[in-house]
Structure 1
Amino acid sequence: MTVTLSATLAANEDIDRRRRAGERVLHLAFGEAGLPVHPALRDRLAAASERNGYGPVAGASELRTAAAGYWTRRGLITDPELVVSGPGSKSLLYGLLLAIGGDVVLPVPSWVSYAAQADLVGSRPILVPAPPGEGGVPDPDLVAAEVRRARAQGRTVSSLLVTLPDNPTGRLASPATIGRLAEIARELDLMIISDEIYRDLLHDPALPYTSPAELAPERTVITTGLSKSLALGGWRIGVARLPAGAHALHRSLLAVASEIWSAPAAPVQDAAAYAFGEPPELTERIERSRRLHGAVAGAVHQRFAEAGISAPTPQGGFYLYPDLSHLRLGGSAEITKILLEEHGIGVLPGHAFGDDPAAARVRVAVSLLYGDSPDERLTALNSPDPLRLPWIAANLDHLTTGLKELTLPRHGAVRERRAALVPTPCHG
């Protein structure tokens, strides 16, 4: 098995190298929340710094109780005994794939680590396109046939994975789609793993949100963390909510955890318990973050639209998924290279997310546009109109210029030769 560096981390390191070398690169390739840590969380972490014991594998009871309260306030009554904490939801997702076993159904496109983790645990992912206009879920109308086909070949298919709202598209699956998917999961006896780490960052909080745990509670595991809503990516803390009665899965997940991470870092667990308790100062911070992400993602979406480049309107998180196939400059790898090397715009290619390599779709993350220093990022967070801040305006101008140059006739015969060599990609 060949294991390579995650595409997001590799792109981040490449862009950092270019910037240190003096290149002007707009960093749209890394999904970090890009905001300072709230002072109250820093204080909690410092106060807990003497807690240096391993603690329970599942996590401290205070953290599990706080996480159970978080879900209960969202209409999902949760038993703290069926909450498991880990060093980031990414670790928990890997542990769940190991504990559940079998092959997993993934949407296309989907976050780069899902398929990579499936490969690491010996699972063969079944890639199913998302429904038109939606993201983060495999099309329910296609899942049943794909699972039955795989099972007829002797494969064991045990689970399907969804992201609500989605990375890379920024879209949220509709309640109707989640309902159909829950029915199919029950019919085919599939566990649903629902990655809901962006749940609290919907741009419009009135947008209808349905977790599969509401409709198929007996077979849905939810994972979340604090990396996105409270910008604590470097603290590495996440929690999983297991279904009531899933005692065998609980034991298996703890067994995996005990051999991989032993227990999450004790001081971080203390701060996380405080965060999942949702004190007013942190809910207010998340609200400001939600507004900032929505404003900048909307502005970036507008810049692509003005350049004649289509992208689904983002609904949550800080991502967009533009399609530049009409430019006929190659597939996702080629367009990513052109954007970076000729226009100073760093994005991730769609093929890293399982998409058709021939399609020139790319993932754009807007969260590192907020500023280069903590002071700039905090100013952006607190600004009633962050788009008017000079550094954000300059970043948007850089993007506009790069997209304009990209879409204008360039190098005449070179473009024509490329178009002759590159077939029109399939949009299916």
Structure 2
Amino acid sequence: MHSATLAINETLQIRRAAGEKVLHLGFGEAGLPVPAPVAAALSAAAGRNGYGAVVGSSEAREAAAGWFARRGVETRAEQVLFGPGSKALLFALLAALPGDVVLPCPAWVSYAAQAALAGKKTIGVPIPAQAGGVPDPALLEQALRDARAAGAHPGVLVLTVPDNPTGTIARDEHLREVCEIADRNGLAVVSDEIYAEVCHSGKAPSALGHLPERTIVTSGLSKSMALGGWRIGFARVPSGPWGDRLMQDLVGVASEVWSSLAAPMQAAATHILQDPPEVLAHVNAARRLHATVATAVHSAFTAAGAVCRRPEAGFYLYPDFEPVRPLLAARGIDTGAALAAALLEEHGVGVLAGEAFGDTADGLRARVATSLLYGDSETERWEALRSDDPLALPWIAASLDHLRTALGALTAQG
């Protein structure tokens, strides 16, 4: 089945190409330009056309180890594996680790799809009220018992901190509790931390702080540096015998599927992961822009009657229109899919129904991505990134007006 996020992106691009006025809130692309020094690092490596080591070059692995260490996680280069995006590494982990997959609900669309491709069952556990990305600790242990009673074999717990689709950051006490439960139940933890560099303020907690010996971290440069099309991902496995065996298994999968990350991309990663000043400044500017626009979009949804967790990282929101269900029902809208269809067909606003993220079909929820509001051209995106008041830029202001008008019409009293 086609990935729901990729499918909606292609659908909206086709509509735009046909001349339709479409507000693209359906796809989690970071929507920012490439800094010149980063582009230069890639260009300088264009002649590196030979196959490299499956795990990545020694330079790239050393740079990643230093990157982790500067963030408080001591890491040896031998613990790092590079791949063509974190998505490929996540699939390799789900294929290599034994047991079925435990997911917070809602969760990013690809986890369940990858588990199915790997022949594993998924066990969904609702998220706590405060933030997404982790299962509710109060529900997790019973869910594991119920899954085993139904014939499943839970073995892998996937966490997303910060979270996609809710745009929130799991509370450290919840992380601690779910890690304790994972430890008691012999689960490996896969911690997807690709949004950790774009927290709107402060720093996200990590499962490494609670279960370091069985936690694998995946990350990449598609969100913090807006390099999704370059497909640069990396994973950190634990030190010790368990981690060493897992690394061997991951190398086995990688060697048969992607051979190695493209050498020019490894050179670009080496440059970026050394944290040069221009890269840190670029990420800081991106963080401010993401926070400003996501907060404005959050206000538009809550003003229309939806309830929504306040965005804390990245560029996502997860509004729930349950408070205005009677108004929507009068228009024949009683599911998330119907909500998304009405927004697109009647108002030119593209969002992705919560059902794509494992949510219930009758929930009036949707994932909203705000990062493609920054501009349609590189010039506009640079201006948005550098602006002290991006909401005043004509193209962002017009998009916000479009959204407010659409939501107002959708939820207006009959």
TM-score of the pair, normalised by structure 1: 0.93
Q: Supply the AA of the counterpart residue of 1:368.
A: L
Distance 2:411 2:146 in 1: 42
CA distances 1:51-99 after superposition (whole Å, capped 9, x unpaired): 0111100011111111111111111111110110000000000000001
Aligned equivalent of 2:214, options 207, 212, 219: 219
The offset of 1:156, in angstroms, is 2.1
- Residue 379 of structure 1 aligns with which residue? 383
CA distances 1:188-226 after superposition (whole Å, capped 9, x unpaired): 111000000000101112xx5320011110000000000
Distance 1:324 1:27 in 2: 19
Distance 2:179 2:130 in 1: 19
Q: Supply the AA of the counterpart residue of 2:236.
A: R
Please give the secondary structure, in 1, of the residue aligned with 2:235. strand
Distance 2:79 2:193 in 1: 17
The offset of 1:17, in angstroms, is 1.1
Alpha carbons 1:76, 1:214 under 8 Å: kept: no
Please give the secondary structure, in 2, of the residue aligned with 1:128. strand
- Residue 419 of structure 1 aligns with which residue? none
- Residue 195 of structure 2 aligns with which residue? 198
**Displaced runs of 4+ in structure 1, greater than 4 A?**
none
Q: Is residue 232 from structure 1 mapped to residue 227 from structure 2 by the alignment?
A: yes
Alpha carbons 2:344, 2:350 under 8 Å: kept: yes
Distance 2:98 2:225 in 1: 32
Of residues 114-123 and 323-332 in structure 1, the stretch that sits farther from structure 2 once superposed is 323-332
The offset of 1:23, in angstroms, is 1.1
Q: Supply the AA of the counterpart residue of 1:244.
A: S
- Residue 98 of structure 2 aligns with which residue? 101
Q: Is residue 255 from structure 1 mapped to residue 252 from structure 2 by the alignment?
A: yes
CA distances 1:269-312 after superposition (whole Å, capped 9, x unpaired): 00001111111100000000000000000000011111122111
Distance 1:281 1:134 in 2: 32
Q: Is residue 336 from structure 1 mapped to residue 331 from structure 2 by the alignment?
A: no
Aligned equivalent of 1:140, options 131, 137, 155: 137
- Residue 354 of structure 1 aligns with which residue? 358
Please give the secondary structure, in 1, of the residue aligned with 2:162. coil
Please give the secondary structure, in 2, of the residue aligned with 1:368. helix
Please give the secondary structure, in 1, of the residue aligned with 2:222. coil
Please give the secondary structure, in 2, of the residue aligned with 1:22. coil
**Any residues of structure 2 matched to 1:224-303 within 5 Å, and which?**
224-245=219-240, 246-303=243-300
Of residues 308-317 and 148-157 in structure 1, the stretch that sits farther from structure 2 once superposed is 148-157
The offset of 1:153, in angstroms, is 3.9
Distance 2:115 2:137 in 1: 21
CA distances 1:206-259 after superposition (whole Å, capped 9, x unpaired): xx5320011110000000000000000000010000011111111000000001
Residue identity over aligned pairs, in percent, reads 54
Please give the secondary structure, in 1, of the residue aligned with 2:103. strand
**Any residues of structure 2 matched to 1:59-208 within 5 Å, and which?**
59-205=56-202
Of residues 143-152 and 377-386 in structure 1, the stretch that sits farther from structure 2 once superposed is 143-152
Q: Supply the AA of the counterpart residue of 1:377.
A: R
Q: How many residues align?
A: 405
Distance 1:187 1:233 in 2: 37
Distance 1:16 1:306 in 2: 28
Distance 1:253 1:101 in 2: 12
Alpha carbons 1:370, 1:377 under 8 Å: kept: yes
Distance 2:130 2:407 in 1: 23
TM-score of the pair, normalised by structure 2: 0.96
- Residue 425 of structure 1 aligns with which residue? none
Distance 1:156 1:310 in 2: 36
The offset of 1:148, in angstroms, is 2.3
The offset of 1:182, in angstroms, is 1.2
- Residue 304 of structure 1 aligns with which residue? 301
Alpha carbons 2:354, 2:366 under 8 Å: kept: yes
Question: Which sections of structure 1, spanning at least 5 residues, go unmatched?
Answer: 411-428
Distance 2:7 2:87 in 1: 17
The offset of 1:146, in angstroms, is 1.6
CA distances 1:314-351 after superposition (whole Å, capped 9, x unpaired): 10000000011333321110000000000110000000
Alpha carbons 2:100, 2:153 under 8 Å: kept: yes
Question: Which sections of structure 2, spanning at least 5 residues, go unmatched?
Answer: none
Please give the secondary structure, in 2, of the residue aligned with 1:78. coil
Distance 2:385 2:53 in 1: 36
Of residues 340-349 and 69-78 in structure 1, the stretch that sits farther from structure 2 once superposed is 69-78
Alpha carbons 1:292, 1:386 under 8 Å: kept: yes
Distance 2:337 2:100 in 1: 28
Alpha carbons 2:305, 2:321 under 8 Å: kept: no
- Residue 412 of structure 2 aligns with which residue? 408
